[in-house]
């Protein structure tokens, strides 16, 4: 007796003892057998169904050589009953099964199945997704009837399936009339109800005749175990793909079926059905826009989700009339979606099956926004924020933005719980409530934050729209952001703006705060109080750290709000008015001193040349606070710094604790070693790695310090069972615990300056690095193209041509020096060198003077030298001996 016979006998015994089953008196072995029985029955039904459709419809391959397939031409037409009986027989014989070609299936038993709605009215759907029964209304098997002028097309279905769409296309092609297709698309795609019922996942796919026959004949006895495992594995895989990354939300719509159906549809000439489909979508959008504000019930919301899932699978949505008419209408309607529906869409698009749509939908929305920016005549009374299509498409893109994160690699939200309250001497921060924007409703509904996303499904940069970013007037957008009238602002949708454009929004916020502090100071002067409209620092070059530390510490203790005033720096014993250039030099000198190895405040990672807090530093908290203040002041005063922190620092500044993955750019060698430990699958971890929960590191004097990650860590060996715990503890110690005191002081100083800034709203950690350090792209062609000329020079002046010829031939280091000389900083601003707006002005005729520069205004004063050689000599000398000289 084989295993299937045993299962059948057991099943028969169960039927003869209803009292035992009803009372639940089944031992564990019997319960397992019942479960296996159910699984095998389901698999058998699925397999027999495939045999049935192979016999009736064929596989679609015109050169098929399987004699049990309708596409081979060797099989005579079978009635449904004959096909069902033979399917069971083929199943028992484990006969050959063809691969299906759904877009080319030769249909021989197409039919219209007449079902009934709950109210008793007929519900006609052109489909053969269910096995034909005796309720056939019209048969299409007779080819002569197809060609007859008296042929009557079926009534328009009330919903679509993949198969029914194939059938309609076949009928239209056979009769050379596409009216049924046009009518069907118009009826289905214009109706929320009809479209929401289309292409649904259907668990009950097994024909009733086949099901009953299996039950009555015991055909499951012949089920092959390997086939069962194979089919059940495929089923599990499909289910997992629907759930993965979607918050356990199973797709209600069969997206693969939708995609195949649309592929078949768009193989036709689009001119046949485009107008009908576009008009239907416009009508659908109008219905959505009217009904969305009134839909509260969950079922109604599910209908909307189904509709949008199907609509955004249309391949041509980003071109032609779809792009110009249909997609704008859908976007306008979608802006009324409740947060719950937005969240459900985000989860479904991030699922295993849905995520492949993210790129196409994003590209379609980007094309729509770009098109509208190009064709819309914006003016002083009509800004880009007033264009409803652009704003509604941006709102829809936000759903996709969060879906893109859900579909990527996420870390635990618990890593966001960075508590800064433990920072030393944090009375200022404790006394102030940080001015944070209200949480994004969709992010809150999804329980996700951009900091949680270690790696998005698509790079975040693909969400930037450069043309839109260049068109947005950030002064107007910032005014909308601050307005309490609910006006649209792109600052609430920063993912679509380039970092350079967002920097302008931050600049306006900082300048308004500076002017506000200046007005307050003037009012104080009127009342007789001492007035100080600027943050003035007077420092000595040779004692710059000591002087800056003392002054900034006094200010932070007495009146921290003074840090939000415009910075004005004066070097003692030097003439010059600070219009920005002197401040840039001040920051550069402070940074050079702070990272001097003699101070031992930071250590340098040899592999990456990044700097990190020295966990054994003897410097006071005040000095780390000073560095945080300097970093905040640089952002606040729009100055780029020459610092080289690892990315984990910017994540920590945004409120995310360091984790194992942060070690990859912090210390690649250590990261790879720990990764090898995690990937090692053999049981002899203890013998191979010989690692305990005690680690070692060195202090500033090179002495070795031991640290136990757990109590008595030297007694606890790292094993297969605890290796993940070890890695987490190790990374947490290196990136968080060991530098907790230093980082808290640093963070305190940083927050003193930026605590009221929309920095967290606008920028991701990698964009914060760009904001502080500038771009790494030294494109001097870009600088040449953006440079302006004054005093008689033009781009065609011979000395200007010689100047650029010399500059392009300089080494990278000399190019940095040139930037330092002309702008006060050797860093490329965020957005590239074109953002510098360099001006080269004529400074008299030929002479022996060196070139000079107004770093505050990025102006290079260049005498008209008599030869290219003299120009090169004077320029190289100027840029190599410029510190403290030649810059005004």
Choice between 398 and 642, residue whose per-residue pLDDT is larger: 398
The C-alpha atoms of residue 846 and residue 866 are separated, in whole angstroms, by 6
Around Cβ 338, how many Cβ atoms within 10 Å?
16
Choice between 263 and 640, residue whose per-residue pLDDT is larger: 263
Choice between 804 and 300, residue whose per-residue pLDDT is larger: 804
615 in a domain, yes or no?
Answer: yes
* Predicted local distance difference test score (pLDDT) of residue 221: 41
Instruction: Classify residue 323 by burial, with Cβ atoms within 10 Å: 0-12, 13-18, 19+.
Output: middle
* Predicted local distance difference test score (pLDDT) of residue 566: 85
The C-alpha atoms of residue 178 and residue 173 are separated, in whole angstroms, by 7
* Same domain for 803 and 705: no
pLDDT band at 341 (very low <50, low <70, confident <90, very high): very high
* Predicted local distance difference test score (pLDDT) of residue 450: 93
Most confident listed range (6-10, 76-80, 384-388): 384-388
* Same domain for 819 and 728: no
pLDDT digits (tens, 9 = 90+) for 709-748: 999 889 999 999 999 999 999 999 999 999 999 999 999 9
Does position 478 have pLDDT exceeding 80, yes or no? Answer: yes
* Predicted local distance difference test score (pLDDT) of residue 42: 60
- CATH number for the domain harbouring residue 674: 3.30.2160.10
* Same domain for 620 and 546: yes
Domain carrying residue 14: 3-36
652 in a domain, yes or no?
Answer: yes
pLDDT band at 789 (very low <50, low <70, confident <90, very high): very high
The C-alpha atoms of residue 569 and residue 576 are separated, in whole angstroms, by 10
Does position 61 have pLDDT exceeding 80, yes or no? Answer: no
pLDDT band at 642 (very low <50, low <70, confident <90, very high): confident
535 to each of 508, 570, 758, 780, how far by Cα in Å?
18, 11, 21, 35
Look at residues 481, 506, 488, 278 and name the one whose alpha carbon lies nearest to residue 395.
Answer: 488
490 in a domain, yes or no?
Answer: no
Look at residues 352, 354, 465 and name the one whose alpha carbon lies nearest to residue 400.
Answer: 354
Enclosing H/E stretch for 537 = strand 535-539
DSSP state of 669: H
* Same domain for 851 and 726: no
- Report the chain's mean pLDDT, rounded to a whole number: 79
Conformational region of residue 39, where left means phi above 0, alpha means psi within -120 to 50, and beta covers everything else: alpha
* Same domain for 842 and 830: yes
825 in a domain, yes or no?
Answer: yes
Choice between 435 and 357, residue whose per-residue pLDDT is larger: 357
479-500 mean pLDDT: 93
Percent of the chain surpassing pLDDT 90:
42
If one counts the domains in the chain, the total is: 4
What pairing do the DSSP bridges indicate for beta strands 122-126 and 409-410?
unpaired
Range of lowest pLDDT (220-234, 320-334, 824-838, 849-863): 220-234
pLDDT digits (tens, 9 = 90+) for 389-426: 999 999 999 999 999 999 999 999 888 865 443 343 44
* Predicted local distance difference test score (pLDDT) of residue 348: 94
In contact, 411 and 368? CB cutoff 8 Å: no
In contact, 566 and 534? CB cutoff 8 Å: yes
Does position 313 have pLDDT exceeding 60, yes or no? Answer: yes
* Same domain for 603 and 690: no
Angle at CA 408, nearest 5°, toward 402 and 412? 85
Choice between 753 and 816, residue whose per-residue pLDDT is larger: 753
pLDDT band at 598 (very low <50, low <70, confident <90, very high): confident
* Same domain for 754 and 639: yes
Angle at CA 361, nearest 5°, toward 200 and 252? 15
- CATH number for the domain harbouring residue 830: 3.30.2410.10
* Predicted local distance difference test score (pLDDT) of residue 883: 55
Does position 815 have pLDDT exceeding 70, yes or no? Answer: yes
Range of lowest pLDDT (54-63, 792-801, 835-844): 54-63
Q: In sequence order, what are the beta bridge partners of 568?
A: 536
Instruction: Classify residue 13 by burial, with Cβ atoms within 10 Å: 0-12, 13-18, 19+.
Output: exposed
The C-alpha atoms of residue 502 and residue 478 are separated, in whole angstroms, by 10
176 in a domain, yes or no?
Answer: no
pLDDT digits (tens, 9 = 90+) for 358-375: 999 999 999 999 999 999
Q: Which two tokens stand for residue 162?
A: 């993949």
Cβ neighbors of 60 (< 8 A, separation 6 or more) are 71, 100, 101, 102, 103, 104, 105, 106
- CATH number for the domain harbouring residue 617: 3.90.1750.10
Unique residue bearing structure tokens 């199943």: 91
Around Cβ 121, how many Cβ atoms within 10 Å?
7
* Same domain for 836 and 796: yes
What are residue 887's phi and psi, to 5 degrees?
-105, 130
Q: Which two tokens stand for residue 627?
A: 């560095």
Range of lowest pLDDT (49-58, 322-331, 574-583): 574-583
704 to each of 674, 707, 735, how far by Cα in Å?
21, 10, 18
Range of lowest pLDDT (516-525, 569-578, 608-617): 569-578
777-805 mean pLDDT: 89
Choice between 765 and 830, residue whose per-residue pLDDT is larger: 765
DSSP state of 803: H
The C-alpha atoms of residue 64 and residue 73 are separated, in whole angstroms, by 8
The C-alpha atoms of residue 302 and residue 317 are separated, in whole angstroms, by 22
Unique residue bearing structure tokens 């380039």: 498
754 in a domain, yes or no?
Answer: yes
10 in a domain, yes or no?
Answer: yes
In contact, 275 and 324? CB cutoff 8 Å: no
Instruction: Say how far residue 542 (Cα) sits from the centre of its chain.
Output: 48
The C-alpha atoms of residue 657 and residue 650 are separated, in whole angstroms, by 10
pLDDT digits (tens, 9 = 90+) for 11-24: 444 444 344 333 34
Q: How many residues does the chain have?
A: 888
Conformational region of residue 571, where left means phi above 0, alpha means psi within -120 to 50, and beta covers everything else: beta
Around Cβ 193, how many Cβ atoms within 10 Å?
12
* Predicted local distance difference test score (pLDDT) of residue 107: 39
244 in a domain, yes or no?
Answer: no
Range of lowest pLDDT (261-265, 549-553, 793-797): 549-553
699-710 mean pLDDT: 83
Look at residues 629, 654, 653, 632 and name the one whose alpha carbon lies nearest to residue 761.
Answer: 654
Tell me, yes or no, if 242 is annotated catalytic.
no
* Same domain for 640 and 540: yes
* Predicted local distance difference test score (pLDDT) of residue 250: 58
Cβ neighbors of 586 (< 8 A, separation 6 or more) are 537, 539, 544, 548, 569, 571
What are residue 4's phi and psi, to 5 degrees?
-70, -35
Does position 287 have pLDDT exceeding 70, yes or no? Answer: yes
H helices of 112-224, in order, are 143-147, 162-175, 179-189, 192-196, 208-217
Does position 146 have pLDDT exceeding 50, yes or no? Answer: no
* Predicted local distance difference test score (pLDDT) of residue 62: 76
In contact, 524 and 531? CB cutoff 8 Å: yes
Q: Which two tokens stand for residue 671?
A: 């990261």
61 to each of 109, 183, 824, how far by Cα in Å?
17, 30, 71
pLDDT digits (tens, 9 = 90+) for 108-145: 333 333 343 344 433 433 333 333 333 333 333 333 33
Does position 104 have pLDDT exceeding 70, yes or no? Answer: no
H helices of 763-797, in order, are 765-773, 780-786
Does position 223 have pLDDT exceeding 50, yes or no? Answer: no
561 to each of 434, 552, 751, how far by Cα in Å?
13, 12, 12
* Predicted local distance difference test score (pLDDT) of residue 233: 40
Around Cβ 514, how many Cβ atoms within 10 Å?
19
pTM for the whole structure:
0.73
The C-alpha atoms of residue 776 and residue 828 are separated, in whole angstroms, by 7
Angle at CA 801, nearest 5°, toward 795 and 804? 100
Among 125, 172, 242, 856, the one annotated catalytic: 856
In contact, 320 and 274? CB cutoff 8 Å: yes
Look at residues 620, 642, 618, 619 and name the one whose alpha carbon lies nearest to residue 630.
Answer: 642
The C-alpha atoms of residue 328 and residue 282 are separated, in whole angstroms, by 9
* Same domain for 767 and 630: yes
* Same domain for 726 and 641: no
Instruction: Say how far residue 241 (Cα) sits from the centre of its chain.
Output: 19
Q: Following DSSP, what letter does each residue of 507-535 receive, concatenated?
A: HHHHHHHHHHHHHHHHHHHHTTS----SE
653-663 mean pLDDT: 93
558 to each of 435, 561, 694, how far by Cα in Å?
21, 9, 45
Does position 429 have pLDDT exceeding 90, yes or no? Answer: no
The C-alpha atoms of residue 188 and residue 653 are separated, in whole angstroms, by 52
621 to each of 423, 586, 602, 632, 640, how far by Cα in Å?
10, 22, 13, 17, 24
As a whole number of Å, the CA-based R_g of the chain is 36
* Same domain for 614 and 762: yes
Around Cβ 355, how many Cβ atoms within 10 Å?
22
The C-alpha atoms of residue 196 and residue 461 are separated, in whole angstroms, by 33
pLDDT band at 41 (very low <50, low <70, confident <90, very high): low
């Amino acid at each position: 007796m084989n295993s299937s016979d045993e299962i059948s006998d057991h099943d028969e015994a169960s039927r003869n003892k209803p009292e035992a089953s009803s009372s639940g008196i089944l031992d564990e072995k019997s319960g397992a057998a019942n479960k296996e029985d159910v699984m095998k029955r389901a698999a058998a039904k699925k397999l027999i169904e495939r045999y049935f459709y192979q016999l009736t419809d064929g596989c679609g391959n015109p050169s098929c050589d399987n004699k049990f397939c309708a596409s081979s031409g060797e099989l005579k037409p079978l009635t449904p009953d004959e096909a069902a009986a033979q399917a069971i027989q083929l199943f028992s014989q484990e006969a050959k099964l063809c691969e299906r070609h759904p877009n080319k299936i030769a249909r021989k038993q197409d039919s219209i199945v007449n079902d009934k709605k709950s109210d008793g009215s007929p519900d006609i759907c052109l489909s053969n997704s269910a096995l034909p029964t005796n309720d056939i209304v019209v048969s299409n098997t007779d080819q002569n009837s197809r060609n007859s002028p008296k042929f009557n097309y079926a009534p328009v279905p009330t919903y679509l399936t993949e198969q029914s769409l194939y059938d309609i296309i076949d009928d239209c092609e056979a009769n050379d009339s596409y009216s049924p297709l046009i009518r069907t698309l118009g009826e289905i795609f214009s109706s929320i109800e009809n479209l929401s019922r289309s292409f649904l996942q259907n668990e009950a796919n097994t024909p009733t005749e086949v099901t009953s026959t299996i039950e009555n004949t015991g055909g499951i006895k012949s089920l092959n175990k390997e086939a069962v495992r194979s089919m059940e594995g495929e089923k599990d895989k499909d289910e997992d793909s629907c759930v993965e990354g979607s918050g356990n939300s199973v797709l209600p719509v069969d997206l693969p079926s939708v995609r195949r159906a649309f592929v078949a549809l768009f193989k036709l000439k689009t001119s046949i059905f485009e107008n009908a489909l576009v008009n239907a979508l416009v009508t659908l959008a109008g219905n959505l826009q009217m009904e969305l504000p009134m839909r509260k019930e969950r079922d109604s919301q599910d209908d909307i989700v189904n509709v949008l899932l199907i609509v955004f699978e249309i391949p041509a949505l980003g071109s032609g009339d779809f792009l110009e008419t249909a997609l704008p209408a859908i976007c306008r309607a979608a802006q009324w979606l409740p947060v719950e529906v937005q969240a459900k869409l985000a989860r479904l698009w991030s699922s295993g099956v849905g995520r492949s749509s993210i790129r196409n939908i994003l590209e379609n929305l980007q094309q729509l926004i770009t098109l509208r920016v190009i064709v819309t005549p914006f003016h002083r009374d009509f800004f880009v924020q007033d264009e409803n299509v652009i704003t509604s498409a941006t709102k829809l893109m936000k759903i996709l933005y969060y879906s893109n994160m859900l579909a990527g690699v996420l870390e635990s939200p618990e890593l966001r719980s960075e508590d800064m309250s433990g920072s030393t001497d944090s009375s200022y921060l404790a006394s102030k409530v940080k001015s944070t924007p209200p949480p994004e409703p969709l992010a809150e509904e999804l329980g996700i934050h951009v900091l949680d996303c270690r790696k998005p499904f698509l790079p975040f940069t693909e969400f930037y729209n450069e043309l839109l970013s260049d068109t947005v007037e950030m002064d107007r957008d910032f005014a909308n952001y601050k307005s309490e009238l609910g006006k649209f602002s792109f600052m609430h949708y920063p993912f679509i703006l380039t970092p350079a454009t967002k920097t302008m929004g931050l600049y306006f916020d900082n300048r308004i705060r500076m002017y506000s502090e200046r007005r307050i100071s003037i009012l104080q002067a009127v009342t007789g109080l001492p007035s100080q409209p600027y943050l003035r620092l007077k420092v000595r070059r040779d004692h710059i750290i000591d002087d800056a530390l003392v002054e900034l510490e006094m200010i932070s203790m007495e009146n921290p709000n003074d840090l939000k005033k415009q910075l004005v720096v004066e070097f003692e014993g030097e003439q010059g008015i600070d219009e920005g250039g002197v401040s840039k030099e001040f920051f550069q000198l402070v940074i050079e001193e702070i990272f001097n190895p003699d101070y031992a405040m930071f250590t340098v990672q040899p592999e990456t040349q990044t700097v990190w807090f020295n966990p054994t530093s003897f410097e006071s908290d005040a000095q780390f606070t000073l560095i945080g203040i300097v970093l905040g002041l640089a952002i606040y005063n729009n100055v780029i710094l020459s610092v080289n922190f690892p990315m984990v620092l910017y994540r920590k500044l945004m409120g995310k604790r360091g984790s194992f993955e942060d070690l990859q750019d912090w210390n690649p060698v250590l990261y790879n070693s720990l990764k090898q430990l995690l990937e090692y699958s053999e049981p002899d971890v203890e013998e191979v790695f010989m690692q305990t929960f005690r680690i070692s590191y060195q202090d500033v004097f090179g002495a070795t310090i031991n640290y136990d990650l757990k109590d008595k860590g030297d007694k606890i060996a790292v094993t297969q069972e605890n290796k993940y715990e070890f890695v987490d503890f190790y990374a947490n110690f290196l990136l968080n615990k060991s530098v907790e005191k230093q980082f808290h002081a640093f963070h305190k100083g940083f927050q003193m300056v930026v605590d009221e800034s929309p920095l967290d709203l606008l920028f991701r950690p990698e964009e914060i690095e760009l904001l502080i350090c500038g771009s790494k792209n030294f494109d001097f062609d870009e600088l040449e193209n953006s440079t302006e000329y004054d005093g008689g020079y033009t781009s065609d002046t011979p000395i200007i041509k010689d100047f650029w010829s010399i500059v392009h031939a300089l080494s990278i280091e000399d190019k940095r020096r040139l930037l330092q000389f002309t702008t006060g900083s050797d860093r490329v601003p965020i957005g590239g060198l074109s953002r510098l707006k360099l001006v080269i002005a004529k400074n008299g005729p030929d002479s022996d003077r060196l070139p000079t520069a107004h770093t505050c205004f990025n102006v290079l004063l260049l005498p008209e030298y008599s030869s290219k050689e003299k120009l090169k000599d004077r320029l190289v000398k100027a840029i190599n001996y410029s510190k403290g000289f030649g810059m005004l």
